[in-house]
């Protein structure tokens, strides 16, 4: 559910005053991740690497309060559910977008991921979840990328997590990941916490 809230009654009151009218309120942090265990898990379970990364992103974000509040059109809204957006290459050579509701159940998330991305690829139609706070993702896996900075538009203030092709070494697989967020939604401290927690959970056993 999506509900407008009074920013003055939240912990983001000062940030709302400072950054809501800023012409460039987006911030981008980049961190190189050790994704060795994630890569091995993908091979062992026969699951897509990008699906697992999207699930981990949702899992970590779901435990951070700031991800549930988002500035839209000069107002602040609270959501009670998160979703991860995935960009899909379709059968006509274009791209489509699909929102996948986050579930703490990996099997359920995987099922929805496969179903929705296949439908978007075949039907060339995007699907959206208007009542969820959307975490955007963009995977440019054709080449290795050090950093991605997304365009800023006031039509889309949502956080974005972006990456390229992972780097397979002899003993370790790494992946630089860019995280872009609106300064009203969170500060650098919360963003850094998100990145640190993402690395921690990807390095641990489920």
Q: Which residues of the chain have pLDDT under 50?
A: none
The Cα 5–Cα 163 span in angstroms is 33
The Cα 35–Cα 174 span in angstroms is 5
The Cα 29–Cα 148 span in angstroms is 9
Burial class from Cβ neighbours inside 10 Å (0-12, 13-18, 19+) for residue 170 reads: exposed
- Give yes or no for a contact between 191 and 184, defined as CB atoms under 8 angstroms apart: no
Q: What is the pLDDT of residue 162?
A: 97
Q: What is the pLDDT of residue 82?
A: 98
Q: What is the DSSP letter of 153?
A: B
Give the CA dihedral 137, 1, 107, 148, nearest 10 degrees.
Answer: 10
Burial string for 20-40 (b: 16+ CB within 10 Å, else e) reads beeeebbbbebbebebbebbe
Q: Which domains does the chain have, with CATH numbers?
A: 2-9+25-202 (3.30.559.10)
Q: What is the DSSP letter of 46?
A: T
- Give yes or no for a contact between 194 and 179, defined as CB atoms under 8 angstroms apart: yes
Q: What is the pLDDT of residue 25?
A: 94
Q: What is the pLDDT of residue 43?
A: 95
Q: Which long-range contacts (CB under 8 A, 24 or more apart) does 18-24 make?
A: 18/183, 19/182, 19/183, 19/184, 20/71, 20/74, 20/184, 22/183, 24/152
Q: What is the pLDDT of residue 150?
A: 86
Q: What is the pLDDT of residue 105?
A: 98
Residue whose entry in the numeric block shows the structure tokens 């274009």? 94
């Amino acid at each position: 559910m999506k509900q407008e809230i009074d920013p003055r009654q939240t912990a983001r009151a000062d940030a709302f005053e400072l950054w809501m009218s800023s012409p460039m309120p987006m911030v981008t942090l980049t961190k190189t991740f050790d994704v060795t265990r994630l890569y091995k898990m993908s091979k062992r379970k026969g699951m897509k690497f990008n699906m697992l990364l999207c699930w981990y992103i949702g899992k970590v974000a779901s435990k951070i309060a700031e991800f549930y509040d988002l500035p839209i059109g000069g107002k602040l809204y609270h959501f009670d559910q998160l979703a991860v957006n995935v960009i899909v290459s379709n059968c006509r050579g274009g791209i489509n977008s699909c929102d996948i509701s986050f579930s703490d159940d990996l099997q359920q998330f995987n099922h929805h991921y496969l179903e929705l991305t296949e439908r978007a690829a075949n039907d060339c139609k995007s699907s959206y979840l208007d009542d969820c706070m959307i975490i955007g993702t963009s995977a440019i896996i054709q080449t290795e990328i050090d950093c991605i900075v997304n365009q800023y538009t006031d039509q889309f203030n949502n956080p974005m997590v972006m990456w390229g092709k992972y780097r397979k070494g002899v003993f370790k697989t790494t992946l630089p990941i860019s995280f872009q967020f609106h300064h009203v939604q969170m500060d650098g401290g919360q963003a850094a916490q998100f990145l640190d927690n993402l690395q921690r959970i990807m390095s641990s056993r489920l």
